Structure 1
Amino acid sequence: MQAPVTPAGSVSTGETPLQRPPVAISSPPSAATTARRRLLVSAGGLLLVAAAGNNNAASRGAAAAAVDLGYDPVTEAERAASATVSQRVGEAVRLLEAGRELQARGEFAGALASFTAVVSGYKELALSEYARVGRALVLYEIGDRDESITEMEDVSVALKGYPEIHAALAAALYADKHAPLLAEFQFNIATLLDPHYSDLAYVRDTKHWPPSLVASLKNFITLT
């Protein structure tokens, strides 16, 4: 009796050969399934856009409602304070300009009154320092020259770099205090900032200095 024939290349182990599980082959999605997915994605996107649009519309509506209600970030107290400051600045400017016009016409008493009104009544405003310049110049002509020079020295610190006050102080220090070195220092500051102050015609006809201060500046320039 012959043994059963074993196929070539295989080895008989006496056991039942293992069989591989069948491979499941999935079929591609149908056209209907793909279309349904696209529809769901599109619907979700439309919902997001609609929600954003609603939020923007709500924001615009709230802003429009605020405008309709007359919302103003500036309070009544702030508006009143601003109006008061503007009024005071306008008054001070008018007095300052009046003083300069009176000084130009040689009406030094009236000019002194206008400048003094700015200095005493509007101390909180920066332009009061410029009124002190005019007051010092007019005091030199009709008032106490020592007081005038003291005012000039104070203003030369407060308005350091303002050429007119340095030039005026130079003239006064030279003519009245006999301090040529101090005068030279002040005059160097003035002419470095504005060379016009070495021209007597400029201080007389353009800046309308009082005659006595023009004469003191002439004495300093000519060293007489």
Structure 2
Amino acid sequence: MSDSSPSPAAIPPILPEYPEFSCAAVVVAGGQSSRLGHVPKASLSDGTNTLLGCALQAVRQASPRVVVGPDTLPVPSDVLLTREDPPFSGPAAAIHAGLERVAAQCEGSGTPTPKWCLILGVDTPRIAPAVQRLMRTAAANDATARPLSHEGDSPASEGFWGVSGGIYQPLVGIYRYESIRSVFSEGTTDASVRSFLRRLNPVSVELSAQHTADVDTWEQAERLGYTTSLWSSY
């Protein structure tokens, strides 16, 4: 009887046109949601999908996928869940925790660490097209073997971050995994995410304001249609 289990070669690539591209994802989902009266953002639903579900769907091609938030978050079995230490110590600390969880998963499974890592907040329900653009931008850069750099004499860049209408989106970006892990390795508690990302000299990628629209207030939640909380607390 033959072994019917799929071989590694049978696993489809993340992006068919870039078969060597590898990418993890860290979804930041454990903030205090103070402008929403502490209602968990991840729980907000449009009647079909939650914000957490939208984020995970947007990064569905990444592996591993890590959500950083409370251990009560309902994540699928193929998604890893971890927590920043201490809890509620900010998105920079959450990114650090997520990146370390990626490393632990790869080490434990004996698989190579990914070349790239998506960083995404949980509050952008229409972000999927922007994620696709970021992944293809990173993959194309690898395929053409072009060094990432700014104009002039700026240091080489180690990733791409989203910009929409002149506003930088620190929680919408893709970065070389080893580089971003090194940058976020220490001092992240209650720190600014941008202060760490700037060390990577990211290249700006213009994204649609429609795709990057986020939920920080109830007014924004109503505008995007995510007004029902499926759980009241973490």
TM norm structure 1: 0.23
RCO higher in 1 or 2 (8 Å CA, sep ≥ 6)? 2
* Richer in helix (by share): 1
More strand by share: 2
Q: Which has the larger radius of gyration?
A: 1
- Per the normalisation by structure 2, the TM-score is 0.23
